């Protein structure tokens, strides 16, 4: 199976770039599934029902999020009825929405996607490792899905790496989001799970993690800076592409994906 995962979409310009490219990417890369993290897609903070519908209508199969999922209040009712928009699994009990979904494409292939959030340097939420164990116990490769992707939304590279190791052999891909910078550690771990600490963002890289550099610098230097706004500039779409084994669901290959903007493009 061929799966593309796109990292955090930051703001309108990144959103438009991704939306206008999804159909071409699916055809050109012969993709079975596309997953997009949309938690920053509404002005850099959160996602709205209309934006989620746009992504799903343009060809995304599953949408993941993170700590900004509730920034737009209107998403509460929507996420309860649209299972393809995930919020992190390990949020407080009775939080709207779900953290795991299984979708089936027109060829009958089944993809499971889970969304979890780490604990280090993040807002308080239930422990991630017990949550991961629950997910892996309830959703099994081959039995329940032909491929299984886990979006690990978090700050610390050490914690994300540990999560990848804990899931090795039980998922097709474990990929980090949230830090908006693509890491260079893509690999297949000993048990057959593809891993990359962070997929990077879909956004303008002449920025501070997608935000206007002047405002961000002002905050760092104590010279003001005002309200953070999404940086305007050419967009790089960043993520990872994997191919999985049809028999085991484990990864056969993992390739970083970068297209457009300032970062060096990758071929896939």
The H-assigned helical ranges of 103-144 are 128-138
Task: Give the chain's radius of gyration (CA, Å).
Answer: 17
In whole angstroms, give the CA distance from residue 191 to residue 73.
41
CB atoms within 10 A of CB 9: 32
Q: What is the DSSP letter of 86?
A: -
In whole angstroms, give the CA distance from residue 158 to residue 60.
30
Specify whether 178 is catalytic: no
In whole angstroms, give the CA distance from residue 93 to residue 134.
14
- Among residues 68, 153, 178, 186, which one is catalytic? 68
Dig out the tokens for 31 from the structure.
């993709």
- Nearest CA to 237 out of 1, 30, 41 is that of 41
In whole angstroms, give the CA distance from residue 132 to residue 111.
17
Residues marked active site are found at 68
């Amino acid at each position: 199976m061929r799966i593309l995962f796109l990292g955090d979409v930051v703001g309108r310009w990144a959103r438009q770039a991704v939306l206008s490219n999804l159909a071409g990417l699916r055809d050109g890369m012969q993709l079975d599934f596309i997953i997009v993290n949309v938690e920053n897609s509404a002005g850099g903070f959160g996602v709205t029902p209309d934006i989620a519908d746009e992504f799903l209508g343009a060809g995304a199969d599953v949408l993941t999020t993170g700590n900004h999922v509730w920034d737009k209040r209107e998403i509460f009712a929507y996420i309860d009825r649209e299972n393809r928009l995930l919020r992190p699994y390990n949020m407080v009990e009775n939080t709207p929405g779900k953290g795991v979904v299984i979708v089936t494409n027109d060829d009958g292939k089944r993809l499971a996607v889970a969304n979890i959030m780490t604990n280090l340097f993040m807002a308080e939420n239930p422990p991630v490792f017990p949550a991961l164990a629950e997910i892996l116990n309830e959703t099994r490769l081959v039995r329940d899905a032909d491929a299984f992707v886990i979006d690990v939304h978090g700050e610390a590279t050490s914690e994300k790496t540990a999560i990848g190791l804990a899931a090795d052999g039980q998922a097709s891909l474990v990929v980090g989001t949230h830090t908006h910078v693509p890491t260079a550690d893509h690999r297949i771990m000993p048990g057959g799970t593809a891993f990359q600490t962070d997929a990077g963002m879909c956004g303008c890289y002449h920025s501070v993690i997608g935000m206007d550099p002047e405002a961000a610098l002002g905050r760092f230097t104590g010279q003001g800076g005002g309200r953070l706004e999404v940086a305007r500039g050419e967009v790089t779409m960043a993520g990872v592409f994997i191919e999985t084994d049809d028999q085991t669901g484990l990864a056969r290959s993992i390739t970083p994906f970068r297209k457009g903007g300032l970062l060096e493009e990758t071929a896939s």
